[in-house]
Structure 1
């Protein structure tokens, strides 16, 4: 059967379908549990959480499901110059975004002690929690961390955007590789070359990577229905990762305006941009994206840009202002039909089964 693949066997899944991990508070235990209980791999992006929060989250997940799941971290969690600002540059940043603070009625935030979390601290919390799977983006963890995962029985899943990255991932001994085409929503997770130089589409990336490495490949980017699953497996993948379609479901922690926009006809107008976080990411075009792009002012490095925009994006969501939010979405958003994760998963299985039949994995 099509669902019996190296990916499903390695992870102990009924179906080789992975829910994409969403960072920045978009993941939810409800969504993870719905996917895992349905026979796939639910995921939770924890790169924005402190170590204690990661440990508490893992306990909450285990109380909801005894099925396999993954916690996800960003290996590289800051770019050059992204750890600190002088008071003068910080003040200039506040002025840059002041029109949005004023429009939303938000008080500009004070200068923080730090702009993001420490991967080294976070990964120790993940190792301590010992989830069934640990997935990661923006790089490869150290040999010590990967060895600790093997010792503790944690399956490792690394994301790549190029063949070179896939080769490096395999050489490091990672268990499964997520090949992410440029159609995918959210951040481009490149780590060996600039993201702008790593924009291979799924139809070219999946078979090229599958031919080059022996590590089982999970296809991601542009997959939202059974046709995408069938195509990915035919191209040599052993599983699929689906993000935007699950993000649009009521169980995710995406805000109401974000989920509404994912079903709006404007969902077909996406762009790759650095204006929201400082790293290249795909989202629906909106006013903030257009204004910041037209300004010609380069964004701050990650995570500083993300901190500044995050200080008013949440207020924009609460005020139903999608024009000032980061509306992450992949190019397959127009294909989405389901608002419920359980119904979506069931339809994915039905559609894929109808197209693939008793195909061997």
Structure 2
């Protein structure tokens, strides 16, 4: 049967469908538990949270499901030039962005900005929660961390944007790999070469990674409906990870404005930009991405750029502002989104695959 794959066998889940773990506080306990209860693997992006908050998130998920679920962290959670980013550099970035703050009627943030949680501060929460799956992006955790996960019975899943990254993930002893193509919404999670040099499309990447590794391959990027799922399986994937289509559902942690954008014709026009966080990521084009695209190399590194733009109100979870100054993460397959609830989306895929089962 189509649902019997290396990944479903490994994790003890019914469906080879993984919900993408959204960062930026766009994940929700409700969506995670709904997907897991439906037989897939619900996921929660824990990147913005403190260790104590992650423990609370895990507790809340377990109150709503007794099925396997996934918590996700960023291994490399600081931009490379961050140590050299002083107040002078900060003021140069603020000068570029000042007209947008003035337009929005928002005060410019002071220097220095508050510290945000680091991977090293967060990882003990994963050990405390003991989720069935710990997934990670922007690198590979140390062998000590991976061994601790094995001891606790936590399966590990790493994200790769190239074949070389997938091989490195397998060689490290990670249990499964997400083959994430450049069509995916949100951040490009490259860790061997620069993100700009790791732009392989999902449906070119899947078979290359499937041929290169023995661990289960989860396909991500450009998958929003039954056709994308079928294509991923044909190309060698053991499961699919769906992001934007789950983000558009009522159960996700995003706002109604973001969901409206994903269902609108604006979703046809996405771009890769560093404007919103300082790291390359895919979202819907708007005035901010277009007016700043020629100077984005002069903006702040991650996470400072994201903190500055958050002050501007760029993220849907913050105070309202001009939508042309907001971030709306979206993958290239977003125009194929049709379902407003997670169950409708999952059922459409399951019923479609059941109908073509020989």
Aligned ranges for residues 184-199 of structure 1 at < 5 Å? 184-199=184-199
Q: Is the 8 A contact 1:257 1:321 kept in 2?
A: no
Paired position in structure 1 for 2:352: 351
Report the Cα distance in structure 2 between the residues aligned to 1:295 and 1:79, rounded to whole angstroms: 17
Partner of 1:118: 118
1:244-255 to 2 correspondence within 5 Å?
Answer: 244-255=244-255
Aligned pairs for 1:123-202 (under 5 A) are 123-202=123-202
In the aligned structure 2, how far is the partner of 1:96 from the partner of 1:67? 48
The offset of 1:117, in angstroms, is 1.9
Give the match's secondary structure for 1:56.
helix
Q: Which residue in the other structure is 2:342 paired with?
A: 341
Once structures 1 and 2 are overlaid, which stretch shifts more, 43-52 or 96-105? 96-105
CA contact (8 A) 1:80 1:301 kept: yes
CA RMSD of aligned residues (A): 1.6
Task: Give the distance between the partners of 1:83 and 1:231, measured in 2 at CA.
Answer: 43
Residues 58 and 131 of structure 1 are in contact (CA less than 8 Å); yes or no, is this contact kept in structure 2?
yes
1:99 positional shift: 2.3
**Shift in CA distance, 343/315, structure 1 to aligned 2, threshold 3 Å:** closer
Counterpart of 1:302 in structure 2 is: 302
Deviations 1:77-120 (A, max 9, x none): 01222257433333333333222222222222333454432111
1:287 matched to which residue of 2? 287
SS of the residue 1:240 aligns to: strand
Query: 1:309-320 counterparts in 2 under 5 A?
Result: 309-313=309-313, 318-319=319-320
Instruction: Check if 1:276 corresponds to 2:276.
Output: yes
Secondary structure in 1 aligned to 2:218? Answer: strand
Shift of 1:297: 5.6
The number of equivalent residue pairs is: 357
- Report the alpha carbon displacement of residue 206 of structure 1 after superposing the two structures with TM: 0.5
Greater Cα offset, 186-195 or 250-259: 250-259
Deviations 1:157-187 (A, max 9, x none): 1000101001100000100100011111111
Q: Which stretches in structure 2 are left out of the alignment for 5+ residues?
A: none
Deviates more, 1:287-296 or 1:68-77: 287-296
Aligned 8 A contact 1:225 1:351 in 2? no
Q: Deviations over 1:51-80 (max 9, x none)?
A: 111111111111111111100000000122
Q: Does 1:218 align with 2:181?
A: no
Residue matched to 2:90 = 90
111-120 vs 134-143, greater mean Cα deviation:
111-120
Q: Give 1:296 deviation, angstroms.
A: 6.1
Q: Hey, what does 1:2 align to over in structure 2?
A: 2
Q: CA deviation at 1:232?
A: 0.8
CA–CA distance in structure 2, aligned partners of residues 99 and 256 of structure 1: 27
Rounded to whole Å, the distance in 2 between the matches of 1:258 and 1:299 is 25
Large movers: runs of 4+ above 6 Å: none
1:330 aligns with 331
Tell me the residue number matched to 1:32: 32
Distance 2:141 2:59 in 1: 24
Does the 8 A contact of 1:186 with 1:328 survive in 2? yes
Change (3 A) 1:113 1:293: closer
Higher relative contact order (CA 8 A, sep 6+): 1
Q: Distance in 2 between matches of 1:330 and 1:217?
A: 20
Instruction: Give the TM-score normalised by the residue count of structure 1.
Output: 0.95
- Residues 181 and 200 of structure 1 are in contact (CA less than 8 Å); yes or no, is this contact kept in structure 2? yes
The answer as to whether partners of 1:227 and 1:352 remain within 8 angstroms in 2 is no
CA–CA separation in structure 2 for the residues paired with 1:101 and 1:320: 10
Q: Deviations over 1:261-298 (max 9, x none)?
A: 11111211111111111111111100110111144662
Q: CA deviation at 1:314?
A: 5.2
Task: Describe the SS at the equivalent of 1:82.
Answer: helix
* Equivalent-residue separation in structure 2 for 1:287 and 1:334 (angstroms): 20
Q: Does the aligned pair in 1 maintain the 2:30–2:252 contact within 8 Å?
A: yes
The answer on whether the counterparts of 1:159 and 1:189 sit within 8 Å (CA) in structure 2 is: yes
